[in-house]
Amino acid sequence: MGEISHLERHRAWVLTGESSTYALRLDEDDVPTHLYWGPPLPTDAVEELSTVKLPWWDGFNDPNEGLDELAADGGTRYWTPGLQVRFADGTRALEWRYETHEISRDHLAIHFTDRHYPLRIALHYRLRTDVLERWTELTADTEVDVVRADSATWPLPLRDDYRLSHVTGRWAAETQLHRTSAAHGETVFASRRGIAGHHANPWVMVDDGTATERHGEVYGVALAWSGSWRLTTTRASTGRLTISGGFGQDGVVHRVGPGKPLRTPVLAGLYTGGGFGAASRAWHAYVRNDVLDHGRELRPVLYNSWEATGFDVSEQGQRALAERAAALGVELFVMDDGWFGARTGDHAGLGDWHVNRARFPDGLKPLVDAVHGLGMRFGIWVEPEMVNPDSDLYRAHPDWVLHHPHRRRSELRNQLVLNFARPDVGAWAHEWLDRLVGEHGVDFLKWDMNRPFSEAGWPGDADPDRLWVEHTNAVYALMDRLRADHPGLRIEACSGGGGRIDLGMLARADQVWTSDNTDALDRLRIQHGYSQLYPARAMSAWVTDNPNFVTGRSVPLRFRFHVAMAGVLGIGGDIVRWPGDDLALAAELIALYKDIRPVVQHGALYRLRPPVDDGVTALQYVHEDRAVVFAYRQAAHFAAPDRPLRLEGLDPADRYVDSDSGSTHSGAVLLAHGLPLTLPTGDFASTVIRLRRISR
């Protein structure tokens, strides 16, 4: 849980997690100033730090610059601002005045006002084991323009060098991991798209350039926000590096005033001394325990009909797929696009959320009942935030979409974006979704969002910029309301693949669609980047047909299954056409996955060999007395023998039995020497090894 203490004499606060300490104080001008972030420190050591005075060493650099807990624009500090305000008389600078603070178990709130203007600022800190959540709240008695409102600024300790770890990508190539030296000046990671985006993800990790998977100090921050976002690293000539981040983008102004407070999303931070692997395991535990609403559940094996049918959906065809899926051991059947309105392609019908009676003459209930009768849950695809111009909804409400007067309405995928910041749009969406779930007994929604914002205007509204924040908040509110009204409902977040993966969405969704690219070879790299921050418990991964529809590559069925089994297993192929041998193997591997599922979805991940080349890559999950190892040979070269695979996370004093071969191994040998690895010959060879501890 952690501990928060107030050092009144030093006007300082200390937040102590299980294996880290964070400390801040007020300087002589009441500016909240960073003191320490790193390995555990006793209170008297923090007191010693609080007495250190930083002298001016030239006439150009404020010694406290870069140490603000929320860097505010103004005065002699020229650091990247986390807070920029503009008062009615044109004044921009902020002057802090401390008012009070509150400590409630794991939560610290420090309250400030501006020394002249009626603006109130509250800085919030909440401990979650070793993850520290931070956010800011702004209120005012008269209207104030807030040009930038980051959730927090995170000053890092002085180091000889800094290295940034982050992910980039695009559609079908999400979460590609990069590590690069931090440039001097400002480096901005951002999305201006209204969604988190495929091209980046709202997190960054920092080390001194020497950290490895197993060793070294790593600092990381991650933003819980599913709209436009910005993370800025600033590295100055003085040597210091900070990270500041939050929602919003350049040119978008937040208005704060009577009845219009502003609360920023959580920007969470984590320190570890155990390298990138320990950092990932801590983030995974945080997501499972403190972010996911049902994080202790086991996610079911899923079947999705999209690749089998596309838009050619019918009750008879879905029944045939459901019967085959149930026979394989699938637990959740999901019908994808094409069940509603005039939706025979992506050009029409989106927004008309009524059952297509030509395809389902008696509605959806007979299919839902049939799926339930087969012992499976029923799920369905929806895209509530979108509309086709060729739809009854758009013809009735053309003003409901994001648009500017006198500007064209740009279409992507024949779609426009509905303005969920409008209460009438939110009410409409809740009405049909509540009816769809409640009347049909729907257990699962695949919630898609297939295009970013464009022409993001709101004609006639006095504060149109607010839609950038309020759209996302309205989506959150809708999901929260549906889940409260239907406690059994589970949701998968999707955005053309992995365009909406973030901590904010994971607080509402039970899993995320990682990428539209299901090619098993590509997925090794996509899943590797995903795993840096997010857990397998939420990573939806499918086995689909050969050749893959994105890459055209053909990969053996066993390899495809083994890659998908490292997350939340799903099937997406046309299983009615699979030959008998493939069906038998699929049933066997689904049964295997159900056995190892608690270890994969709730276990600690160890990335044993990353997919940095085309050789053997391997990962391991450890949970309670069990370990599961996945090993994949991507390509065979020069008849090279397989090297022993050194495992992690085991007890060296115990022995472990292989559940399939019956052979036993010393934990010490597995850790120091390695597990003998015998993969089948040739390319795309893979294996799953199950180990159980048999002695203490």
Residues with catalytic roles: 448, 516
How is 392-420 classified by DSSP, letter by letter? HHHHH-GGGB---TTS----BTTBEEB-T
Determine how many CB atoms are found less than 10 A away from the CB of residue 181.
Answer: 11
Per the CB < 8 A criterion, the answer to whether 579 and 606 are in contact is no
643 to each of 83, 306, 616, 668, how far by Cα in Å? Answer: 53, 40, 9, 17
Cβ-proximal residues to 655 (8 Å cutoff; 6+ apart), any chain: 664, 665, 666, 667, 693, 694, 695
Per the CB < 8 A criterion, the answer to whether 195 and 475 are in contact is no
What is the chain's length? 696
* Rg of the chain (C-alpha set): 26
Which amino acid belongs to residue 509? Answer: A
DSSP code at position 69: S
Burial 526-543 (b: 16+ CB within 10 A, else e): bbbbbbbbbbbbbbbbbb
Among candidates 597, 642, 600, which has minimal Cα distance to 619?
Answer: 600
CA angle, corner 584, sides to 332 and 675, nearest 5? 90
Per the CB < 8 A criterion, the answer to whether 635 and 614 are in contact is yes
Please tell me the distance from the alpha carbon of residue 465 to that of residue 547, in angstroms, as a whole number. 45
Determine how many CB atoms are found less than 10 A away from the CB of residue 435.
Answer: 12
Per the CB < 8 A criterion, the answer to whether 230 and 211 are in contact is no
Binding site, annotated residues for substrate:
171, 336-337, 413, 446-450, 494, 516
Alpha helices for 565-673 (secondary structure H): 580-602, 667-672
Binding site, annotated residues:
171, 336-337, 413, 446-450, 494, 516
The residue with tokens 């934990």 is 667
Looking at the DSSP bridge assignments, the partners of residue 626 are: 623, 692
Which amino acid belongs to residue 216? Answer: G
DSSP code at position 536: G
Which amino acid belongs to residue 337? Answer: D
Structure-block tokens of residue 193: 């798209």
Please tell me the distance from the alpha carbon of residue 403 to that of residue 417, in angstroms, as a whole number. 9
Structure-block tokens of residue 460: 């006639």
